[in-house]
Structure 1
Amino acid sequence: MIDRFSDALYTPTEVARYLTLPASTLRGWIAPADESGSLPLVTAETTTVPGEARVPFVGLAEAYTLRAIRTARIPMQRIRPALEQLARRDQLRHALASERLFTDGAELLLDVADGASGEEAEAVRQLVVVRSGQGVLHEVVRDYLHRVTFEGGYAQVIPLPTFGGAVVVDPSRSFGQPIFASSGARLDDALDLFKAGVDVNDVADEFAISAEELQQAIRGHMSLAA
């Protein structure tokens, strides 16, 4: 059984591709902010072997949430202090993959800010406040995190943005590789058959998915390959 917190399933390149992120952005999230002991934003093993899987499922979930926050144009220098305060005061490991961020969101962060001081407290508060007066975390939850399925308090199933909701990753199925949400069929298997020249409708029937789902997957795959 795969451990979603420790078993390395993906290379950084794969995570960046699944989430349509620049590879350099993901590398920055995996690396510590500086030499002062700051923790990486995305969980990954250290390895010197090129192309080796380094990122566990929880790291993919963390990157997914960071992608959402990045879309909301929140500076990374506001995110790191908030996460470090969560870890120090609440012992909340992998906060970006936690259901508590989904359910408690801004309230959790404001509580953390109350226990911090100086620049760290201000950075945490600014992560919550936006121009409209609503919480940034509320906006992120609405647009992204509600699509995630949680189990045991942490992300379990994540939709891959490129594929229009048709494709997900789930560490309990197909070793965490992309699958169709409706049938559990492996994305790569369906794409291989299509690339071999089999008609879209026949491929869809073979893997118990709709032609529309397959076409979404094909479009997503082509956009990643472009």
Structure 2
Amino acid sequence: MMETVNLEELVYRTGLYLPIEVDRYVGLPENTTVRWGSPLDQTQPIVTRLNRPRRSPSIPFVGIAEATMLKAFRKTGLSMQRIRPAVQALRQKLNDDHALLSERLYTDGAEILYEYAEHADGEAMKLVVARNGQTVMTEVIESYLQRISFFDECRTPKEIDLTLRYGGVHVSVNPQVNGGVPTLKDSGLAVGTLMGFLEAGETYASVAAEYGLDPGLVEQLAMCA
């Protein structure tokens, strides 16, 4: 029981990231997480954000997982202005405050979003360019949801695969590893550690030699970090 409590505390109630860090790690435009993590018109935020002092980490691990899924919404063509009400509709239909992480998201959840996009405010929004739009949207959402692994005993996010974000380098974030910062899956090295040496003037080759890495991998990380 204690392990479950600690897990919930770590994933849901521990601030790990600044909003700007979530933007950078997930690959979102700057200030996106600030907007998504703020209430609007008496509606709840669509990214979990804790009440923390200014400049203190306020986004828990569940928040970066939600931001990952929200990026999938943008990939389907759903506009920034439509994402917030779409998430609210999804939460109500699935009766789940963390509906963005639900397995139902790419089944009936995807259908809900498609219907919302077609009929919200009486407008026919351009959700996707393909004719079989609903199928495409389901595939996009499923591909993003599969990047998040969960603890088997509950639907609590455990790790997020950021390989595509880092140009094919195997990088992930895990709240139990390096405080949740992007980490090389094969070596356990924090990406920020490598970038720190580069910012101090070290070369790709010297950093790679220090940690037994391929210089091309270090260069790829530097291009994407």
TM-score, with length taken from structure 2: 0.75
Instruction: Note closer, same or farther for the CA distance 1:191–1:78 as it changes in structure 2 (3 Å cut).
Output: closer
Counterpart of 1:94, as a letter, is H
Aligned twin of 2:109: 108
State whether residues 81 and 120 of structure 1, in contact with CA within 8 Å, keep that contact through their aligned partners in structure 2.
Answer: no
Structure 2 unmatched runs, 5+? 1-5
User: What percentage of aligned pairs have identical amino acids?
Assistant: 32
Compare 13-22 and 194-203 and name the one that shifted more.
194-203
Q: Distance in 2 between matches of 1:142 and 1:110?
A: 13
SS in 2 for 1:156: strand
C-alpha RMSD of the superposition = 3.3
Structure 1 unmatched runs, 5+? 222-226
The count of corresponding residues between Structure 1 and Structure 2 is 210
SS in 2 for 1:194: helix
Q: CA deviation at 1:151?
A: 3.0
Q: CA deviation at 1:97?
A: 2.8
Counterpart of 1:107, as a letter, is D
Q: CA deviation at 1:85?
A: 4.2
Aligned match for 1:44, one of 36, 40, 49 = 49
State whether residues 82 and 109 of structure 1, in contact with CA within 8 Å, keep that contact through their aligned partners in structure 2.
Answer: no
Instruction: Note closer, same or farther for the CA distance 1:182–1:210 as it changes in structure 2 (3 Å cut).
Output: farther
Q: CA deviation at 1:145?
A: 3.4
State whether residues 200 and 214 of structure 1, in contact with CA within 8 Å, keep that contact through their aligned partners in structure 2.
Answer: yes
Residue 28 (str. 1) matches residue 35 (str. 2): yes
Aligned match for 1:17, one of 5, 24, 37 = 24
Instruction: Note closer, same or farther for the CA distance 1:54–1:171 as it changes in structure 2 (3 Å cut).
Output: same
Q: CA deviation at 1:21?
A: 2.3
SS in 2 for 1:23: coil
Counterpart of 1:155, as a letter, is P
Residue 74 (str. 1) matches residue 78 (str. 2): yes
Aligned twin of 2:61: 57
Q: CA deviation at 1:31?
A: 1.5
Aligned twin of 2:3: none
SS in 2 for 1:144: helix
Aligned twin of 1:224: none
State whether residues 98 and 155 of structure 1, in contact with CA within 8 Å, keep that contact through their aligned partners in structure 2.
Answer: no
Q: CA deviation at 1:81?
A: 4.4
Instruction: Note closer, same or farther for the CA distance 1:155–1:140 as it changes in structure 2 (3 Å cut).
Output: farther
